Amino acid sequence: MTDLVFLEPNKLGSEPFTTSDVIAAQAQISYRSVQRMIERHENDLAEFGQVRFQITPVKYARGTNDKKIYQLNEQQATLLITYLKNTPPVRQFKKDLVQEFYRMRRELTRRQIFRDAGKPIRRTLTDAIRDSGEDGRMHGHAYGTYTDLAYKAATGKIARILRKERGACAKAIATDFLTSDELSAYNKAEERLTVLLDMGLTYDQIKTLLLVQTSKRLAG
Helix pair 74-82, 31-40: axis angle to 10 deg: 100
Are 125 and 208 within one domain?
A: yes
This prediction has a pTM of 0.55
* Domain co-membership, 117 together with 202: yes
Task: Specify if 90 maps to a domain.
Answer: no
Residue 161 covered by a domain:
yes
Q: pLDDT tens-digit profile of 157-189?
A: 999 999 999 988 888 889 889 998 999 999 989
In a domain? residue 1: no
Residue 6 counted as domain residue: no
Find all residues with CB under 8 Å of 107, minimum gap 6, and list them: 179, 180
Which among 210, 150, 158 has a CA at the least distance from the CA of 184?
A: 150
Tell whether 76 and 133 lie within a shared domain.
no
134, part of any domain: yes
Q: Are residues 207 and 117 in the same domain?
A: yes
Could you say which of 52, 85, 118 is where a domain stops?
A: 85
Q: Is 97 inside any structural domain? A: no
Domain match, 28 and 115 both: no
Q: In the listed set 29, 52, 85, which residue is the last one of a domain according to the structure?
A: 85
- What is the predicted pLDDT for the residue at 19? 96
pLDDT higher than threshold 70 for residue 25? yes
pLDDT exceeds cutoff 80 at 85: yes
Domain of residue 123 covers: 110-219
Does 123 reside within a domain? yes
**Number of domains making up the chain:** 2
What pLDDT was estimated at residue 9?
66
> What is the DSSP code string of 145-168?
HHHHHHHHHHHSS-HHHHHHHTT-
The per-residue pLDDT for 121 is 57
Residues 133 and 73 in one domain: no
